[in-house]
Amino acid sequence: MTKLEGTKVRVRFAPSPTGYLHIGGARTVLFNWLLARKSGGKFILRIEDTDRSRHVGDSVAKILDDLRWLGMTWDEGPEAGGDAGPYFQSERLSLYNEHLARMLESGDAYYALETPQELETMRENARAEKRILSYDRPSPIPTIEEGEAAKRDRKKVVVRFKMPDEDITVCDDILGDVTLKSGQIEDFVIQKSDGFPTYHFACVVDDELMKITHVLRGQEHLMNTPKHVAMQRSLGFTTPHYAHMPVIFNMNGSKMSKRDKEKALKNGDPPPEIDVNDFRVAGYLPEAVVNFISLLGWNPGDDREHFSLGELVETFTLDRVGKTNAKFDREKLLAFNTNWAASLDFGLLFKAFCDFLSASENIPQEIRDADEKKLREALKACSGFRIFPDVIKKVGFVFASDNDIEFDPKAVKKVLAKNENAGYAILDHMITRLEALADWSVGSIERLINDVCEARDIKMGNVAQPLRVAVSGSTISPAIGDTLVLLGKKSTLARIRKCLMNREPK
Ligand code: GLU
Ligand 1 centroid – CA 90 distance (Å): 15
217 and 267 assigned to the same domain: no
Residues 209 and 274 placed together within one structural domain of the fold: no
CA 233 / ligand 1 centre spacing (Å): 20
**Phi, then psi, of 346 in degrees rounded to 5:** -60, -35
Position 485 pLDDT exceeds 80: yes
Mean pLDDT of all residues in 118-123: 95
Q: Distance between CA 272 and CA 257 in Å, rounded?
A: 10
Tell me the per-residue pLDDT of 127-176, one tens digit each, with 9 for 90 and over: 999 999 999 999 999 999 999 999 999 999 999 999 999 999 999 999 99
CA distance linking residue 13 with residue 30, whole number of Å: 9
The band of 346, judged by pLDDT with boundaries at 50, 70 and 90, is: very high
- The whole-angstrom separation of Cα 398 and Cα 482 is 11
Q: Say if residue 249 is exposed, middle or buried (CB neighbours under 10 Å; 0-12, 13-18, 19+).
A: middle
Distance CA 349, CA 361 (A): 20
CATH of the domain at 474: 1.10.10.350
Evaluate: CB of 48 within 6 angstroms of ligand 1: yes
| Residue 58 placed within a domain | no
Percent of the chain exceeding pLDDT 90 equals: 94
Contacts of residue 462, defined as CB under 8 A and 6 or more positions apart, other chains included, come to 422, 423, 426, 453
Instruction: Average the pLDDT over 194-205 and give the result.
Output: 97
Rounded-to-integer distance, Cα 405 and Cα 439, Å: 25
Single-letter amino acid code for the residue at 497: R
C-beta of 14 in contact with ligand 1 (< 6 A): yes
- CA–centroid distance, 101 to ligand 1, in Å, is 24
Percent share of the chain, pLDDT over 70: 98
- Whether the bond into 300 is cis, omega within 30 of 0: no
Q: What is the pLDDT of residue 56?
A: 77
Could you list the active site residues? 258
Domain range spanning residue 166? Answer: 92-245
Quickly count: other Cβ atoms within 10 Å of residue 106's Cβ.
12
Verify whether ligand 1 is closer than 6 Å to residue 16 (CB atom).
Answer: yes
Structural domain ending residue among the three candidates 217, 245, 273: 245
pLDDT tens per residue across span 52-87: 777 777 999 999 999 999 999 999 999 999 999 999
- CB-ligand 1 contact for 473 (6 Å cutoff): no
The domain boundary, picked from 370, 389, 412, lies at 370
Residues 361 and 424 in one domain: no
- From 59, 52, 46, 58, select the one nearest 19 (Cα to Cα): 59
Say if CB 112 and CB 142 are below 8 A apart: yes
Which pLDDT belongs to residue 458? 95
Distance from the alpha carbon of residue 14 to the mean position of ligand 1, in angstroms: 5
- How many domains does one find in the chain? 3
Which protein residue's CA is at the shortest distance from atom 4 of ligand 1? 15
Ligand 1 atom nearest to CA at 18? 4
Q: Please check whether residue 53 lies inside any domain of the structure.
A: no
Chain-wide mean pLDDT for the chain?
95
3: pLDDT confidence band, cut at 50, 70 and 90? low
Q: Structure pTM?
A: 0.93
**Residue 208 belongs to a domain:** yes
Ligand 1 centre distance from Cα of residue 223 (Å): 13
Asked whether residue 300 is domain-assigned, the answer is yes
Answer for the pair 415, 421: CB distance below 8 angstroms, yes or no. no
Residue 362 and residue 264 in one domain: yes
How high is the pLDDT of residue 1? 41
Number of H helices, E strands in the chain: 22, 11
What CATH number did the domain enclosing 229 receive? 3.40.50.620
Q: Tell me, yes or no, whether 132 lies in a domain.
A: yes
- Amino acid (1-letter code) at residue 502: N
Check whether residue 175 and residue 269 sit in a common domain. no
Ligand 1 test: best mutation among 28, 48, 87, 210, most atoms within 8 Å of CB? 48
For position 335, which CATH number holds? 1.10.1160.10
Kindly state whether residues 270 and 343 are assigned to the same domain.
Answer: yes
In this structure, the answer to whether residues 114 and 186 fall within a common structural domain is yes
pLDDT in the model for residue 506: 58
Same domain for 206 and 139: yes
Q: Does some domain include residue 181?
A: yes
> Domain ends where: 245, 277, 292?
245
Q: Are residues 310 and 233 in the same domain?
A: no
Residue 206 placed within a domain? yes
Q: Is 15 in the pocket of ligand 1 (CB under 6 A)?
A: yes
| Same-domain pairing of 122 and 227 | yes
Q: What is the pLDDT of residues 224-277, one digit of tens each?
A: 999 999 999 999 999 999 999 999 999 999 999 888 999 999 999 999 999 999
In this structure, the answer to whether residues 336 and 360 fall within a common structural domain is yes
Q: Is the peptide bond before 140 cis (omega within 30 degrees of 0)?
A: yes
Report if residue 376 sits inside a domain.
Answer: no
Q: Rounded mean pLDDT of 207-221?
A: 97
> Which of 11, 16, 206 has most ligand 1 atoms within 8 Å of CB, for mutation?
16
Q: Do 115 and 233 share a domain, yes or no?
A: yes
- Digit-coded pLDDT (tens) for 355-410: 999 999 889 999 999 999 999 999 999 989 999 999 999 999 999 999 999 999 99
Sorted by sequence, the CB contacts under 8 Å of residue 19 that are 6+ apart come out as 56, 59, 62, 258, 275
